[in-house]
Structure 1
């Protein structure tokens, strides 16, 4: 009986213990909840722990207290502050008052005050008791134009384009001038650093060191050290056939090319190097032929520069990648050896296919255009011969038009005729006296241009004059008129055949 009684008592005690434990847990939770509630409530009108505006700790402060602290720091001290930007050679000082900086304290404090207020009770309690910290950026406005001008002035003094290595030719002497590397201001980073200082460093002067990116020169002295000899040259005369304006244009274009260096694989563009022919760049109006009509325009004479360069490049055994001939043969080079250009329309290009860099020397003194190509002496035993072969001549025709405004028998040439030609240009390359290649460079067709002559029909009672037919163009005779091209850069003054005595490689017809 005793054992049965004890067993019954033990069974009755188990539910009671569980109830007691449950009640204890509920009490503890209730106490914790009340405590948590009171803690969170006590911070409901204060900024949570760990919250800063920039470097200013605002934990436990009310909105008004926080605003007062920030006003005192930023409004009172801001105009005493400045940013000192240091470059390698000088300092640039930006006073805060110059950029009219204004801090939006109310909005910033509201953001700091609202931090953590929109989460549940437990999360709020954790932020208060175990703060992770938060930094609120101070919102402000400033004169963006003034700051940008400040940064741009620094950039102008810092930025320097790299200078490629150069080659100076003095007779047979070649001198390499070493390259100079450039630098570029990291403007975006500097602006970010300045704006950070405007928000953080109030009442003190901030020093900022500029970040600069080094710019390496593309052409270095090492890369062009192999250039040591002249491998080709070509000269044409312009002094005896050019007006002052035409000569001026030739000299400008020639000087633009002088000193140009091409590494292996580089491509040369005449229009890119010489640039647009404008009055602002010094080019003058000179007679040009557009189609079959003579007009006045900028660029007269430029085609003689491109043609002379073309012939020097051919004799350096370098392949042209873009070349167009005129509508009629040029009288300063053999037929088929011209290269016309027209900015924005027709270009002359070639690519350095040699294994060495090349240097282009250009000169227009003494009324002659001269181009010399320099490279490595290993190429000196390679001789390139260019020959022009006319294989068809197409005669031009004359068209007479009666004109009653002219006296009978009087004639007026409206358009001079020009003989047409089909011509092949052959390049023959010899090495150590042995022919190693012979190839067709071009097969050009210069269309004949028919002449137009007005013939008078008005009877005056005077003696009639026999109409005289203008002579057609002949590449082997001295021309009386300029040649026509498709290019506005084409020349229209009287041209003469070039004196080939200075160039033993040149092939005459």
Structure 2
């Protein structure tokens, strides 16, 4: 009976204490707070939120210091047993000690490594960086430390009692939420992925013997920096606190010239040559030699265009040219690069035979003598007249230039796809032709009867048409008008001295006519007019029509 009474007394005292705790509870700020059923269900986290302000500073230590100054707990208050922040047990630690322990834990995690790899780039070493260098941080550390310190020490008796009982049953763990600085990651990727990228290697085509040598091409890899940065950010968002490997986002970048493509260049699909005189030691020969050097070994991939003017210009001594005769203003003159247009005409005819697309072509101002009328081509200094070729095939084109003894030519290499029984013919005809005659100018500086030839050849005013004929097994299948050209007239040009003064008439006529044909006439009646003397043309005289100058510069 006494035991029952004692037990009843204990229960009454406990109930009294609980009721008292429910009625009033002294808040941590010293004010009296009205209690109620709501307070009994308040979670420890809500209490911590009341005592710990939102972390507004970037330094968690400073944030913790501010929170402790507002808390009724002293600096020596320790954390209850069984409390962890992330993987760090902070039981029995003060708030400052717990903060130091968590920060040390963060520093250790920051030494974990991010490895950035590039799939398919076996020769490129992966990039490794400590995760701390990517701006690793954990939000709300000071809040977690304050919550750990106040756990079991705040709230009414029931809340505190419940917290202690929970800790006896299981540990309390606060998980850190990790993040990284996105701008830092983007900067890292932009700077570092250049080391991962692999530039494609083009195949090279080199003329050798009767054919070509082709080097091996290599694919490249292009890194997408933006997508790669997003992959890193995503991988560290749900980080397991271990080393991380991320594959850079990349795509294969093919070379513009592959070995397979260049290996198609095997056949001569068009060739043409023209003759020249004077040898390579003459101004014209030197210009042709320079032009051949500048227009040899030209590789055109499908869809590419090539300007002959751009390849040859500027026409200057510094670029290897000499002076030679060139067409100019209805005549000709000495000019750097004179005669270079013979290369344009030669290549144009080779392109016709290859059936290559000629995207730009201009005829000379006057006819030339080394190819059919209407089948010539010219360029000039300014580039307003140019020969431009465009590769409209699905295989590469290789242009080879050569200079022999008295001959200059071009070969166009590619892949022969035309039937062997299909042949071509190109020719030009005059539609109109009017002789320009001779232009004689009296030059008072010359002696009477003296003559100087400034332009030995005359050039007719003409209209010409060029045609292409296609034959299969020798039978004409199609005749195509290529173009109609007009040429200006330029007469032969001569300067002569003024006529000699007339001879005085005799004072008396002979009284008797000669009796025989053999009789010598008198001096006055038999003097024949003086024949004019012809002065040889100066060194600048134009060549004969078969060797007409060609440069339009």
Kindly provide the CA deviation profile for residues 134-154 of structure 1, in whole angstroms up to 9, marking residues without a partner as x.
544248879x89984x65566
* Alpha-carbon separation, structure 1, partners of 2:351 and 2:358: 8
The structure 1 residue matched to 2:410, chosen from 363, 370, 375, is 370
**Other-structure match for 1:447:** 488
1:312/1:373 contact within 8 Å kept: no
**Other-structure match for 2:474:** 433
**Other-structure match for 2:37:** 28
SS in 1 for 2:307: helix
Identify unmatched segments of 5+ residues in structure 2: 1-34, 61-84, 145-171, 501-529
Answering whether residue 387 of structure 2 is matched by residue 348 of structure 1, we say: yes
The structure 2 residue matched to 1:183, chosen from 212, 220, 223, is 220
**Other-structure match for 1:42:** 51
SS in 1 for 2:550: coil
1:46/1:63 contact within 8 Å kept: no
Q: CA deviation at 1:383?
A: 1.2
Answering whether residue 516 of structure 2 is matched by residue 477 of structure 1, we say: no
1:308/1:369 contact within 8 Å kept: yes
SS in 2 for 1:159: coil
2:452/2:537 contact within 8 Å kept: no
Kindly provide the CA deviation profile for residues 49-77 of structure 1, in whole angstroms up to 9, marking residues without a partner as x.
xx9xxxx9699998998799669966998
Kindly provide the CA deviation profile for residues 190-245 of structure 1, in whole angstroms up to 9, marking residues without a partner as x.
98499979x999xx998877665333356667778887754542112357455464
**Other-structure match for 2:122:** 88
Relative to the length of structure 2, the TM-score reads: 0.53
**Other-structure match for 1:250:** 291
Q: CA deviation at 1:185?
A: 3.5
1:390/1:423 contact within 8 Å kept: yes
1:384/1:428 contact within 8 Å kept: yes
2:228/2:248 contact within 8 Å kept: no
**Other-structure match for 1:379:** 419
Name which structure has the greater RCO, CA cutoff 8 Å, separation 6+.
1
Relative to structure 1, the CA distance from residue 195 to residue 67 in structure 2 (aligned partners, 3 Å threshold; closer, same or farther) is: farther
1:47/1:113 contact within 8 Å kept: no
1:313/1:373 contact within 8 Å kept: no
Q: CA deviation at 1:414?
A: 7.5
Kindly provide the CA deviation profile for residues 415-438 of structure 1, in whole angstroms up to 9, marking residues without a partner as x.
886443211112111101111011
Aligned pairs for 1:280-295 within 5 A:
283-287=319-323, 289=326, 291-292=328-329, 294=333
Relative to the length of structure 1, the TM-score reads: 0.57
> Larger radius of gyration, structure 1 or 2?
2
* Alpha-carbon separation, structure 2, partners of 1:189 and 1:248: 53
Kindly provide the CA deviation profile for residues 357-385 of structure 1, in whole angstroms up to 9, marking residues without a partner as x.
57545241425223245543652211111
Identify unmatched segments of 5+ residues in structure 1: 1-25, 116-128, 489-509
2:378/2:385 contact within 8 Å kept: yes
* Alpha-carbon separation, structure 1, partners of 2:173 and 2:544: 101
> How many pairs align?
411
1:389/1:425 contact within 8 Å kept: yes
* Alpha-carbon separation, structure 2, partners of 1:32 and 1:221: 77
SS in 1 for 2:122: coil
Q: CA deviation at 1:39?
A: 3.7
Aligned pairs for 1:85-164 within 5 A:
88-89=122-123, 91=125, 135-138=178-181, 148=191, 152=194, 155=197, 158-163=198-203
* Alpha-carbon separation, structure 1, partners of 2:143 and 2:441: 96
Answering whether residue 349 of structure 2 is matched by residue 306 of structure 1, we say: no
1:328/1:446 contact within 8 Å kept: yes
2:423/2:472 contact within 8 Å kept: yes
2:193/2:223 contact within 8 Å kept: no
Q: CA deviation at 1:180?
A: 2.6
2:307/2:389 contact within 8 Å kept: no
Aligned pairs for 1:491-502 within 5 A:
none
Aligned pairs for 1:306-345 within 5 A:
306-318=344-356, 320-341=358-379, 345=384
1:253/1:305 contact within 8 Å kept: no
* Alpha-carbon separation, structure 1, partners of 2:312 and 2:465: 31
1:193/1:208 contact within 8 Å kept: no
The structure 1 residue matched to 2:433, chosen from 393, 398, 402, is 393
1:179/1:217 contact within 8 Å kept: no
SS in 2 for 1:44: coil
1:335/1:388 contact within 8 Å kept: yes
* Alpha-carbon separation, structure 2, partners of 1:112 and 1:415: 99
1:229/1:377 contact within 8 Å kept: no
Which range is displaced more, 306-315 or 269-278? 269-278
**Other-structure match for 1:507:** none
* Alpha-carbon separation, structure 2, partners of 1:453 and 1:403: 10
Answering whether residue 312 of structure 2 is matched by residue 269 of structure 1, we say: no
2:190/2:225 contact within 8 Å kept: no
SS in 2 for 1:306: helix
The two structures, once aligned, show a CA RMSD in angstroms of 6.1
2:189/2:228 contact within 8 Å kept: no
Q: CA deviation at 1:186?
A: 1.2
* Alpha-carbon separation, structure 2, partners of 1:475 and 1:389: 23
Q: CA deviation at 1:83?
A: 7.6
Relative to structure 1, the CA distance from residue 272 to residue 134 in structure 2 (aligned partners, 3 Å threshold; closer, same or farther) is: farther
Which range is displaced more, 431-440 or 179-188? 179-188
2:297/2:399 contact within 8 Å kept: no
**Other-structure match for 1:234:** 272
Relative to structure 1, the CA distance from residue 415 to residue 102 in structure 2 (aligned partners, 3 Å threshold; closer, same or farther) is: farther
2:114/2:246 contact within 8 Å kept: no
